[in-house]
Structure 1
Amino acid sequence: MSKTERVRLELPLILPQVDDPADPCIDRLVGLLQGRPGVEKVHVKTPGGAPPLLCLHYDPGVITVARLRELVDAIGAQLTERFAHYVGRAPAPLHARHARSFADQLRAIPGVLEAEVSTAGCIRVEYERTAVPPGSLEERIRAVGATFTPEKSPDPASPRDDRADRHMHSGATHADHRHEPNHEHDEDKAGHAGHDHAHGGIFGEHTELIFAGLAGVFLLAGWLVERSGAAAEWLPLALYIGAYLCGGFFTTKEALENLRARRFEIDTLMLVAAVGAAALGQWAEGALLLFLFSLGHSLEHFAMGSARRAIEALAELAPETAFVRRGDGTEEVPVGTLEPGDVVLVKPNERLPADGVVVKGTSSVNQAPVTGESVPVDKSPVADGRAAIGAFDRVDAASRVFAGTINGAGALDVMVARRAAQSTMARVVQMVAEAEAQRSPTQQFTDRFERIFVPAVLALVCLLMLAFVVLDEPFADSFYRAMAVLVAASPCALAISVPSAVLSGVARAGRSGVLVKGGGPLENLGSLNSIAFDKTGTLTEGKPKLTDVVVAPGVSEAELLAVVIAVESHSDHPLAAALVAGGRERLPTEATLPAAEDVRSITGRGVQAIVDGQAVHIAKPVFFDEGAGMRLPPELAEANERLVRDGRTTMVVRQGERFLGAIGVMDTPRPAAPAVMAQLRELGIERLVMISGDNQQVADAVARTVGLTEARGDLMPEQKVETIKSLRERHGKVAMVGDGVNDAPAMANATVGIAMGAAGSDVALEAADVALMSDDLAQLPFAVGLSRRTRRVIKQNLWVSLGVVAVLIPATIFGLNIGTAVLFHEGSTLLVVVNALRLLAYPGATKEGAAREVT
């Protein structure tokens, strides 16, 4: 199936407790997908008498079925009954050409929708369960040494995760339609590492490198003996033949495999060029060709293995065993046997074995392996562990812990919330592996370029071989020139330039707690200049705080705050806790609080009570405008208007016939937000836009405080989606930063959706293209800076690989010999790989590190 072909999928529409096509939840599902890059049309079909179908028209070259399924799963739809996907690893890195041809073989299997194979050996296949012939996929996967573990079909009779059934149908948010993915991936370490090299042999994974070295030794010895003239005439030839055997062993092996599969790859072309040189008596140049080609090939594998190992290191962070409390003692058990509700003992300085909540003990935990936070986070126990693991996503960060993180000096008892295969770390490893195999837009371009370029080169070589017909030269000269052009024009560096950079960028991001789902988001984030932000919980703390106290003439602040604390301490309104906490901070410790009686809520306006025998009202200013004889004094009204202009939510306090004053509450901006916005501007982000459901004055106030270029308030969720679409139309690519739950539709319609605080949140991990695992806005400039550096490296690699080919082709036509052509050809291949691996050393989330990547 061509990657540019448009595809239509018709899927059974399954949402928890939803069977009506007119249900608003289905509108949310369509809104989540409509407008997504690569999704051309989404609609619901209702065949007569049949269940409704979700019909998707999409471009598989831009968005994969796996990504579509993630987005749909984010609000609870189940697509796992029809589609499955396999994610595994070959036992060693693959050459770019081998990876591409293997992916083509997988795509040729009937029923396989998509297949991607990365140079690091990651294999990702999306297929229809009923359409794939039994054994055909398994046979191909095992052919490269990977372990095939098919994804299990969901059992309709099995009880669903409690979270999936938490469907609050009235006013349900996207978090309510949550679906626990039922993917069983190959998590066996044997399928990921520990095997011999793909070109393994008597020397293990370094066999090809050693063979290349021996070829170099034979070549050098033959050249020295030939130059000295002191030995028998047959000795230099014998040494060159030895160089041929060592340097050409693996090249011949791959060439034969390609020919058996009816493919004519670069390995075959190189072998033909070497045989041609030998036929012309140019044994030294042929040996040099095979030596440098095999050396470059083996070093390329070695270098790509470095990037691969950086990703595999994530999977090895969690311990293999855990100490589970059994009665009065503990028992050491494998981590894979832990079940939700088990209590494990975590000793000081040990790694945590599972995701869970602290039920006993206090300590600080280094969460850098998962969230990228540089400072350990203090942990304290929850009151009810069972209730906490049932709502794990909403547990306070001070009590929630993750597998793979490192305990500090105190011992902790942790109640397990998730099985090992479902932990945040396991899911990050799985998603990073999937991201490796997904091709970026530039990689798709290079593949299309190669499909045109390689046949054109072969045609040119054939013409050059016939040059002796029109030129006054022997056939040997024409043939030699053609072989030199064949070597010079082979696009080896081009084939490896983009995947090596993408793999290194994804690995570096994952090491710092930033999950990037493939080369597409990585490149797009590196090229956009507009970012939209949700306000609550993203730019702000998400918790209102008492910010201002304005007292009326003749009233002290202590008197006002005492009344407010006395009344609001009886209320369960979200603002009440902020007023009580803020009031206690400001009130002198020696102050006494009056007693409040008969506390009642004034719906939509505030609260009333009796304090010291007088009626007290703490309410919105409009409440007093509505009541007879209760209008605000001019000076208090003016102070209230000033607070509103500054973005505060205000309440006025009145006791008896006397106004005590006004108080202002605000969801305060994150302390890091202004510095983050400054870093983003330094990185070349021109438009920083906030989209919020709060009133425009509040939005403007927050925008001024944190340094945004624009703020849009009073937006309903569907209006946020329209705002993102309009930004894309006017400014091209745009990213949307939110919490991944209520902002899922807007994030899905952005070019790149970025979720904050994704650690432990299923919905955030599924809805986002880029997930910032910690709840730290400072990770955003790091992600943008790394993406810009990656995009720059990709451009550099393309210029090098295409530039060398552009120079070498005419140079060889006009007489450059094969040896020099090989030197530059293989040198460019190694250069682009080394250049890409520099991304693994990209500095962490600091202003100095990110701000250097100004475009």
Structure 2
Amino acid sequence: MAAAAQLGSTVTSDRTLARFRPLAVPLVTGLLVVAGWWLESRHAAVAALTSSPGPLLLRPGWAALVVYALAYLVGGYESARTGWHALRRGRIDIDFLMVAAALGAAAIGQALDGAILIFIFALSNALEEYATGRTRKAIEALVRLRPTRARRVTSLDDAAETELITADQLRPGEFVLVLPGEQVPADGVVVRGISAVDTSAITGESIPQQRQPGDQLFAGSVNREGALWLRVERPAQESTLARIIQLVEQAQQRKAPTQLFIERFEQVYSALVVAGTVALIAAGLTVLGWGVSQTIYRAMTVMVVASPCAVVLSTMPVMLSAIASGARNGVLFKGALDLEQLAGVRVVAFDKTGTLTLGLPQLVAIHARPPFTEEQLLAAAAAAESGSEHPIAGAILEEARRRGLSLPSPEHSRTHPGRGVEAVVSGDRILVGSPAWFHEMGQPLDGELADALARLESAGHTAMVLSINGSGPAGILAVADRARPHAREAVQALQRLGLRVVMLTGDNERVAQAMGRELGVDEVYAGLLPEDKMRILQELERRYGPVAMVGDGINDAPALVSAAVGIAMGRAGTDVALETADVVLMSDELVRLEGAVALGRRAERVVRQNLAFAFGVIAVLLVSATTGHLSLTQGVVGHETSTVLVALNGLRLLGFRWPRLQGASAEAEAAAGIDRVAEAGPA
């Protein structure tokens, strides 16, 4: 126990040291600066009291210079090395400017000011490293979620042997046991057991989801209740979690256009600062009549305050923080470019089937003609359709099973392609098919059934007519593709953000318009082939501006690629969704689109704030330094403080509050901040 406690104490101590290690350089530099200032003050006091201060090397003045030199060496070594390497490549960077300014101050007898500059620049770099490190912690947290061990079982028997192995040893086809409280070690399918599983690491869903045989599980999920037996589908190294980690790491390396522009701007601007400093020195010595010390001092002050440190840090912490925030909430951005483009979209186009809807037909209505009852019609239709693989048959069978109806096997069954099914069940001849088929057979619908059929078809439902023993239509069963939960709320939230919402589908016009009315979208385009969707996207972009396309990542791949931003329904991390789209909704929750757009807009606004603040501080400090109203020390403090503030402002996005299911949150509405799109009629 004592050894374990000692080991735990050592680990904690190591982590503490690692956390504060970046501050070691500025801390030592600061102590040296204070020591040098004390020695310099003592030298002044001794010189005032005596004209014979003692041996040269023991005088406080020389001792102060030695201590200052150590401060320059400790605090400025890394910057000098970086600046020198950049200079050898023909580039002038910020590190070179800072070191040159400090050495220039020392050359004119202002060693203290130069040492303070070195100290504050080293402290600024340490704080910037801490700031950007905060965004890396999101990735490190994902990495820590990666399972390390697994319980491999030889069979599904209760008495089967269990072998504890590393997750990397698992191979597809093997079985693993996941006990309550344990992590799922690899992607796979549940083959035995029922439990609630926490999938927040993968999908961002905060509420555990029930999983039973046939359901998929993903590495990194946590089993909360009963034991589960899992058949492994892919190695741990290729799991959904592993691919998410890889994609987020790549996203942090992909730079937005604004960031790329600023990096190019830094090189040109730094060269201009050096040229301007040289020109100021020349003008001060020749035209303005300044003394040598005054000229160099002002030039060094100008060089410091004009350095673009804060400008360079205006974008990177912002984008990294936003990407990390999205990854923690089930929205995967492929890169900063995609985040910036999402902020500028004016239209969101949705695929219908599988995106706005569940993509699975469900029985939504039964109209029975007396003396038949609804359950009699449902049982007869389900028994007749029991051998069919048609999606409509599946919807009827699912509802019959849900109601616990007894379904005898048909004695005879025959499919009429494009029309319906004819079957004999328990001696009764049953026909289930389209209204057109019954019309062909001379059994058209009339009266209440005709009225019901008209209402169902106008609502976009698919109706099937049923007859028993040739007595004419006995009733109607209607199926429809149900809207995805909270789809209407998601559409309304996007509209509140000023976006135009459009639905694209290959379904017929009647079904599409009915679904469009139910969801409240602004425009509906029906009967589209994949190439038609691409054409519509181009037309929408010409009319309104950049378009984001939301699809299921498979049949919508061409449209996802052609849109300004392609957003895929993750289907819990399918390969196509992860590879095709720019943004992936890992939980398939459309309501997260509101947060994604709001996050992109907030990031864009924070970048603008940072740039305005950075350039504003530079302008004020530059005017003050040029006119002699700013000391080098004051310039250093003002310049480096602005740099740290800009970095910390970007980190605020780590705490971005994602909207909940109850419509748009105040956070999202406040993030809108962009002129709303003008209303326009349908094309």
- With the length of structure 2 as denominator, give the TM-score of the two structures: 0.87
For residues 438-477 of structure 1, give each alpha carbon's deviation from its aligned partner in whole angstroms, at most 9, with x where no partner exists: 1101112213333432333222222111112111222322
Q: Sort the Cα spacing of 1:686 and 1:319 in 2 relative to 1 into closer, same or farther, 3 A.
A: closer
Which residue of structure 1 lines up, in the alignment, with residue 52 of structure 2? none
1:356 pairs with 179, 188, 212, which one? 188
Tell whether the 8 Å contact from 2:93 to 2:267 is kept in structure 1 after alignment: no
Correspondences of 1:19-418 after superposition (within 5 Å):
206-223=20-37, 230=45, 234=61, 236-326=64-154, 328-382=160-214, 399-418=215-234
Which residue of structure 1 lines up, in the alignment, with residue 258 of structure 2? 442
Alignment pair present for 1:833 and 2:643:
no
Correspondences of 1:504-583 after superposition (within 5 Å):
504-552=321-369, 555-583=372-400
Which residue of structure 1 lines up, in the alignment, with residue 479 of structure 2? 665
> Aligned partners of 2:141, 2:21: CA distance in 1, in Å?
24
Tell whether the 8 Å contact from 1:531 to 1:735 is kept in structure 2 after alignment: yes
Larger Cα-atom Rg: 2
AA in 2 matched with 1:493:
A
Q: Sort the Cα spacing of 1:616 and 1:320 in 2 relative to 1 into closer, same or farther, 3 A.
A: closer
Alignment pair present for 1:651 and 2:464:
yes
Which residue of structure 2 lines up, in the alignment, with residue 716 of structure 1? 529
Which residue of structure 1 lines up, in the alignment, with residue 515 of structure 2? 702
> Aligned partners of 1:430, 1:311: CA distance in 2, in Å?
9
Deviation at 1:673, TM superposition (A): 1.0
Deviation at 1:597, TM superposition (A): 4.1
Which residue of structure 1 lines up, in the alignment, with residue 53 of structure 2? none
> Aligned partners of 1:759, 1:812: CA distance in 2, in Å?
57
Alignment pair present for 1:792 and 2:608:
no
Q: What percentage of residue pairs aligned between the two structures are identical?
A: 43
Tell whether the 8 Å contact from 1:648 to 1:665 is kept in structure 2 after alignment: yes
For residues 651-676 of structure 1, give each alpha carbon's deviation from its aligned partner in whole angstroms, at most 9, with x where no partner exists: 22233132212222111112211222
2:294 pairs with 469, 472, 477, which one? 477
Alignment pair present for 1:604 and 2:418:
yes
Deviation at 1:219, TM superposition (A): 3.0
User: Which has the higher mean CA deviation after the structures are superposed, 430-439 or 453-462?
Assistant: 453-462
> Aligned partners of 2:368, 2:36: CA distance in 1, in Å?
97
Correspondences of 1:8-23 after superposition (within 5 Å):
none
Q: Sort the Cα spacing of 1:694 and 1:631 in 2 relative to 1 into closer, same or farther, 3 A.
A: same
Which residue of structure 2 lines up, in the alignment, with residue 90 of structure 1? none
Q: Which runs of 4+ in 1 moved over 6 A?
A: 591-595
AA in 2 matched with 1:414:
L
Tell whether the 8 Å contact from 2:93 to 2:270 is kept in structure 1 after alignment: no
Which residue of structure 2 lines up, in the alignment, with residue 726 of structure 1? 539
Tell whether the 8 Å contact from 1:531 to 1:685 is kept in structure 2 after alignment: no
Correspondences of 1:799-818 after superposition (within 5 Å):
799-815=612-628, 816-818=630-632
Which residue of structure 1 lines up, in the alignment, with residue 590 of structure 2? 777
Tell whether the 8 Å contact from 1:208 to 1:294 is kept in structure 2 after alignment: no
Deviation at 1:222, TM superposition (A): 4.4
Which residue of structure 1 lines up, in the alignment, with residue 671 of structure 2? 853
Deviation at 1:261, TM superposition (A): 4.2
> Aligned partners of 2:46, 2:437: CA distance in 1, in Å?
109
Q: Secondary structure at the match of 2:314?
A: helix
AA in 1 matched with 2:333:
V
Q: Sort the Cα spacing of 1:310 and 1:276 in 2 relative to 1 into closer, same or farther, 3 A.
A: same
Alignment pair present for 1:753 and 2:566:
yes
AA in 1 matched with 2:474:
L
AA in 2 matched with 1:669:
A
Tell whether the 8 Å contact from 2:94 to 2:270 is kept in structure 1 after alignment: no
Q: Sort the Cα spacing of 1:758 and 1:470 in 2 relative to 1 into closer, same or farther, 3 A.
A: farther
Tell whether the 8 Å contact from 1:367 to 1:376 is kept in structure 2 after alignment: yes
User: Which has the higher mean CA deviation after the structures are superposed, 543-552 or 292-301?
Assistant: 543-552
Q: How many equivalent residue pairs?
A: 634
> Aligned partners of 1:820, 1:557: CA distance in 2, in Å?
85
Unaligned runs of 5+ in 2: 1-10, 48-59, 674-683
> Aligned partners of 1:246, 1:759: CA distance in 2, in Å?
51
Q: Secondary structure at the match of 2:127?
A: helix
> Aligned partners of 1:661, 1:852: CA distance in 2, in Å?
52
Q: Sort the Cα spacing of 1:670 and 1:248 in 2 relative to 1 into closer, same or farther, 3 A.
A: same
Tell whether the 8 Å contact from 1:647 to 1:666 is kept in structure 2 after alignment: yes
AA in 2 matched with 1:355:
D
Tell whether the 8 Å contact from 2:411 to 2:425 is kept in structure 1 after alignment: yes
Q: Sort the Cα spacing of 1:581 and 1:334 in 2 relative to 1 into closer, same or farther, 3 A.
A: closer
For residues 350-386 of structure 1, give each alpha carbon's deviation from its aligned partner in whole angstroms, at most 9, with x where no partner exists: 112111112222222111111111111112224xxxx
> Aligned partners of 1:720, 1:598: CA distance in 2, in Å?
44
> Aligned partners of 1:638, 1:601: CA distance in 2, in Å?
28
> Aligned partners of 1:241, 1:499: CA distance in 2, in Å?
34
Deviation at 1:496, TM superposition (A): 1.9
> Aligned partners of 2:413, 2:477: CA distance in 1, in Å?
19
Deviation at 1:521, TM superposition (A): 0.6
Which residue of structure 1 lines up, in the alignment, with residue 680 of structure 2? none
Once superposed, what is the RMSD of the aligned Cα atoms? 2.5
Q: Sort the Cα spacing of 1:592 and 1:456 in 2 relative to 1 into closer, same or farther, 3 A.
A: closer
Q: Sort the Cα spacing of 1:205 and 1:318 in 2 relative to 1 into closer, same or farther, 3 A.
A: closer
Q: Secondary structure at the match of 2:654?
A: helix
1:458 pairs with 260, 274, 294, which one? 274
Q: Secondary structure at the match of 1:853?
A: helix
| Higher fraction of helix | 2
> Aligned partners of 1:329, 1:653: CA distance in 2, in Å?
54
AA in 1 matched with 2:189:
V
AA in 1 matched with 2:562:
N
> Aligned partners of 1:595, 1:210: CA distance in 2, in Å?
80
AA in 2 matched with 1:821:
G
Which residue of structure 2 lines up, in the alignment, with residue 735 of structure 1? 548
Tell whether the 8 Å contact from 1:699 to 1:713 is kept in structure 2 after alignment: yes
Q: Sort the Cα spacing of 1:823 and 1:370 in 2 relative to 1 into closer, same or farther, 3 A.
A: same
AA in 2 matched with 1:828:
S
Unaligned runs of 5+ in 1: 1-193, 198-202, 383-398
- With the length of structure 1 as denominator, give the TM-score of the two structures: 0.70
Tell whether the 8 Å contact from 1:757 to 1:776 is kept in structure 2 after alignment: no
Alignment pair present for 1:636 and 2:449:
yes
Tell whether the 8 Å contact from 1:356 to 1:417 is kept in structure 2 after alignment: yes
Deviation at 1:721, TM superposition (A): 1.6
Tell whether the 8 Å contact from 1:735 to 1:754 is kept in structure 2 after alignment: yes
Q: Secondary structure at the match of 1:701?
A: helix
Tell whether the 8 Å contact from 2:313 to 2:643 is kept in structure 1 after alignment: yes
The higher-RCO structure (CA 8 Å, 6+ apart) is: 2
Deviation at 1:716, TM superposition (A): 1.4
